[in-house]
Amino acid sequence: MKNEFIYQIFPQTFCEKDNKNGIGNIKGIISKLNYIKSLGITSIWISPLTKSPFKDSGYDVEDYYEINPVFGDMKDFDLLIKKANDLNLKIIIDIVVNHTSNKHIWFKKALEGDKKYINYYHFKDPVNDGPPTNWKSKMGGSSWEFVPKLNKYYLHLFSKEQPDLNWENEEVRLEILKILNFWKSKGVKGFRFDVCNLYDKPHIFEDDLEGDGRRFYTDGARLENYLKFMNKNSFNNETNFFTVGEISSTTKEKSVNYAKVNNNELDCVFTFLHLKVDYINNNKWTYTKPNLTSYWNTLKEWQLYFQNNDSTLALFMNNHDQPRSISRFGDDKNYWYQSATSIFGFTSLLKGVPFIYQGEEIGMTNMSFNSISDFKDIETLGNSKELLLDHNEETVLKILSSKSRDNARSVMQWDNSLNAGFSNAEKIDLLINKNYKIINVNNQINDESSVFNFYKKLITLRVSDEIFTKGKVEFDDNLDYCYKRIIDNREILVITNWTSKNKPLTLNINNYKIIINNYQNINFKHLLPYQLLVLERF
């Protein structure tokens, strides 16, 4: 696990081959395995491929055992596993079992009044003729939906099309095991557990007078037992099997346990506090520039806490839910190359398991949206309705443009041909970033000075040098955006400047040799805008 470098694919927008319906597919993924391998990647995490009505891009599963026909079929999937194996690439799949789709047979039966399946979900009686609690859905609006026929509300922490499963019901847990073991027997080599710190819901449902309800259902008391249960009965600490949990809104004290050595839960966790530094009062749907001091303090604090507790963090700045980090933390207009390389390089040499997200390796940027009607994502649309109650359209457009998940979901930019080379379909209904004629794989792959080739060089270094895979991380309290990796008597210094201005270099680097520099030159007095230096002590 320590030597992994993982590439995330969002199948809908990655690559389409053959069927011309304008949506990415498994054949498209297969056609790009060599490309991914050429970057030095060791494993691929693919967002859900299972059958889904696609209200939330596949994170609403209708059938856990079937491939979504828009992506292909089980034969395609088997071929994907085989081709990936041939290249020594591991396939990690997304496991979405906090909730199902409302089109899942279990939920349909529950709606028909079947008691067994009602108990698969959280159906509750109305309280004072209204919903059981005041909790908010993450997609906007209440987290409860009323079913007149049953005279009950059901819980959905995400959209109303994503009812939450009742993990306390043993039958549900056994169903989940069956799903895990089915995919394991298909040859997948890892699981990414979607929102897994929300599995355990409280026994008493009460109003949240301080927030949106998350403090009552995040990191529940039984959660660690559930993780241990899956581990024991499925992947069982297999050394060749990789697990990562998505743990949002958590504390470091809680999350450290989920990936602690010998806790028999997960291999590593995605946490998000380092990205929530452009939220106002913990509210994502606000507009402000990232606070670089908070970013640095959070990063340092979590790195040390996980190191001291023998636990493992996933390292990432991008995924299908996040705006592109080059536009969020970087200066994608004036220092595009330097921003792409310094943000990636600085964060992936830390201690943990590094992940990158499709398109990041060529410096893909946020979209530019002209109107609220340009957005497609369910979370963005749900929250825009609420924002419009309090703000004018211009402000809402500005907030959505900076935070929408659509920024990460425009099609992968392969070349400068039709649809950015993503698909041959005449018309596609997906977002295409206008800059694809300049920013694309074809333009970069043979150019030694490209973002792509920087990624390749750094990934190769990251997976092959034990100072990064096994070494300690150390910080100096007087220096920000700077850390050391140490093993035996070797020491590597990683230092960056995430601003568009020069930054004084207050440390003496005469005793170090340069391993990586994203500029041609080095100036011993200051770091240039978005400069990254990786130096090894003589």
Residues 98 and 60: their CA atoms lie apart, in Å, by: 10
| Distances from the Cα of 89 to the Cα of 36, 45, 223, 359, angstroms | 9, 10, 31, 19
Q: Which of 4, 161, 194, 406 binds ligand GLC (CB under 6 A)?
A: 194
Choosing from 194, 200, 265, 465, which is the catalytic residue?
194
Residues 58 and 240: their CA atoms lie apart, in Å, by: 27
Q: Which of 5, 14, 45, 59 binds ligand GLC (CB under 6 A)?
A: 59
Pick 62 or 246: Cβ nearer ligand GLC: 246
CB nearest ligand GLC: which residue?
59
Give the contact letters, 489-508, x = binds to ligand GLC (CB under 6 A), - = no: --------------------
Residues 512 and 514: their CA atoms lie apart, in Å, by: 7
- 195 touches ligand GLC (CB under 6 A): yes
Q: How far is the CB of 56 from ligand GLC (least distance, A)?
A: 5
- Contact between 452 and 441 under an 8 Å Cβ cutoff? The reply is yes
| Distances from the Cα of 325 to the Cα of 69, 133, 227, 302, 343, angstroms | 32, 36, 31, 19, 8
Q: How far is the CB of 382 from ligand GLC (least distance, A)?
A: 11
Q: Which of 46, 49, 61, 96 binds ligand GLC (CB under 6 A)?
A: 96
- 270 touches ligand GLC (CB under 6 A): no
Tokens coding 474: 């150390």
Catalytic residue list contains 194: yes
- Contact between 505 and 527 under an 8 Å Cβ cutoff? The reply is yes
Residue 311: strand pairing partners: 260
- 480 touches ligand GLC (CB under 6 A): no
Neighbour tally for 240: CB within 10 Å? 9
**DSSP string covering 435-459, please?**
GGGTSSHHHHTT-TTSHHHHHHHHH
Pick 165 or 459: Cβ nearer ligand GLC: 165
Q: Which of 10, 13, 29, 56 binds ligand GLC (CB under 6 A)?
A: 56
Pick 117 or 158: Cβ nearer ligand GLC: 158
Q: How far is the CB of 153 from ligand GLC (least distance, A)?
A: 20
Strands 472-474 and 353-357: unpaired
Residues from 101 through 120 that contact ligand GLC (CB under 6 A): none
Pick 195 or 230: Cβ nearer ligand GLC: 195
Give the contact letters, 137-176, x = binds to ligand GLC (CB under 6 A), - = no: ---------------------x------------------
- Contact between 314 and 270 under an 8 Å Cβ cutoff? The reply is yes
Sheet strands (E) in 156-282: 190-193, 242-246, 268-270
Give the contact letters, 457-476, x = binds to ligand GLC (CB under 6 A), - = no: --------------------
If 0-12 CB within 10 Å is exposed, 13-18 middle and 19+ buried, where does residue 487 land? Answer: middle
Neighbour tally for 221: CB within 10 Å? 9
Residues 121 and 115: their CA atoms lie apart, in Å, by: 10
Count of residues that interact with ligand GLC, criterion CB under 6 A: 9
Pick 144 or 483: Cβ nearer ligand GLC: 144
Residues from 293 through 352 that contact ligand GLC (CB under 6 A): 320-321
Residues from 224 through 253 that contact ligand GLC (CB under 6 A): 246
Q: How far is the CB of 58 from ligand GLC (least distance, A)?
A: 9
**DSSP string covering 465-500, please?**
-HHHHT-EEE--TT-SSEEEEEETTEEEEEEE--SS
Residues from 356 through 415 that contact ligand GLC (CB under 6 A): none
3-state secondary structure of 125: coil
Choosing from 62, 94, 164, 246, which is the catalytic residue?
246
Q: How far is the CB of 10 from ligand GLC (least distance, A)?
A: 9
Residues 378 and 87: their CA atoms lie apart, in Å, by: 36
Pick 279 or 296: Cβ nearer ligand GLC: 279
Residues 434 and 367: their CA atoms lie apart, in Å, by: 8
Pick 219 or 321: Cβ nearer ligand GLC: 321
Pick 194 or 480: Cβ nearer ligand GLC: 194
Q: How far is the CB of 194 from ligand GLC (least distance, A)?
A: 5
Residues labelled catalytic: 194, 246
Interface residues with ligand GLC (CB under 6 A)? 56, 59, 96, 158, 194-195, 246, 320-321
